């Protein structure tokens, strides 16, 4: 039996003890047979189940005036992790992905997405991967600069995903004079990662070619 004596600590109220009992009972009933053979499918199923159970409502505020209860979040993660690390991961990622929207999103973005992430109808993510940052948010280099009525978003996030049975093409960089040179990159799992950003790329497999032109997206200024 896990030690739950911490629930008697003075900063936990009856509402927290009731919640801990509720999520523990739910976890015992729903997390004993999580299939880890297909992790993506398992995560989708877990997010949906956590939403239907009402637990994801604690990962993002319902309105701008609401605040999250850190003690409830802590109890959620402690309980889920005790039963299933993957369930804890699914719960945490909903909060990480919804956090920037709830803190910095427009009213329209909050209305469009937070009800869905809180209900488990949309899976949130945190797009952080950069060559020099790993999981260090303070070290990201992607920038947003105002350009008139828009924002220019720029950064080093070049990812190419290949099916395992597809031959890896040679990837060439095309310079301003139209000259080609081989790109420096390598496979990381299913992804071919190029170590820098280039305006134009050329892919070659035998006699077949494909070209890619870098487009720096602009977002409306708010």
Q: What is the pLDDT along the chain (222 residues), one digit of tens a residue?
A: 788 899 999 999 999 999 999 999 999 999 998 888 888 899 999 999 999 999 999 999 988 888 899 999 999 999 999 999 999 999 999 998 898 888 888 888 899 999 999 999 999 877 666 766 666 777 777 787 888 888 777 776 666 666 665 566 677 777 778 787 777 776 777 777 777 777 888 877 777 777 777 766 666 666
Q: In the prediction, which pLDDT does 94 show?
A: 93
Q: What are phi and psi of 101, to 5 degrees?
A: -70, -45
Query: Is the model's pTM score more than 0.75?
Result: no
Encoding tokens for residue 121? 């109808």
CB atoms within 10 A of CB 195: 11
Q: What are phi and psi of 138, to 5 degrees?
A: -70, -15
Q: Could you tell me if 130 and 120 are in contact, meaning their C-beta atoms sit under 8 angstroms apart?
A: no
Shortest CA distance to 116 belongs to which of 51, 40, 53? 51
Q: Under DSSP, is residue 210 helix (H, G, I), strand (E, B) or coil?
A: strand
In the block, residue with structure tokens 């739950």: 4
Query: Whole-angstrom Cα distance, residue 204 to residue 210?
Result: 7
Q: Could you tell me if 86 and 46 are in contact, meaning their C-beta atoms sit under 8 angstroms apart?
A: yes
């Amino acid at each position: 039996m896990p030690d739950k004596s911490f629930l008697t600590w003075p900063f936990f109220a009856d509402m927290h003890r009731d919640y801990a009992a509720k999520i523990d009972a739910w976890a015992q009933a729903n997390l004993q047979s999580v299939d880890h053979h297909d992790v993506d499918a398992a995560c989708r199923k877990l997010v949906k189940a956590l939403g239907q159970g009402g637990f994801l409502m604690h990962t993002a505020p319902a309105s701008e005036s609401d605040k999250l209860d850190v003690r409830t979040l802590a109890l959620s993660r402690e309980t889920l992790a005790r039963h299933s690390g993957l369930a804890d991961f699914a719960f945490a990622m909903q909060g990480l992905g919804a956090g920037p929207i709830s803190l910095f999103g427009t009213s329209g973005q909050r209305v469009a997405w937070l009800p869905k992430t809180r209900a488990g109808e949309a899976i949130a993510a945190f797009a952080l991967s950069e060559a020099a940052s790993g999981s260090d948010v303070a070290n990201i280099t992607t920038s947003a600069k105002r350009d008139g009525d828009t924002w220019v978003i720029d950064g080093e996030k070049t990812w190419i995903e290949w099916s395992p049975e597809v031959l890896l093409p040679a990837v060439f960089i095309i310079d301003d004079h139209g000259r080609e040179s081989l790109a420096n990159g390598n496979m990381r799992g299913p992804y071919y990662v190029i170590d820098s950003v280039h305006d134009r790329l050329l892919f070659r497999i035998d006699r077949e070619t494909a070209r890619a032109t870098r487009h720096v997206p602009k977002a409306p200024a708010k």
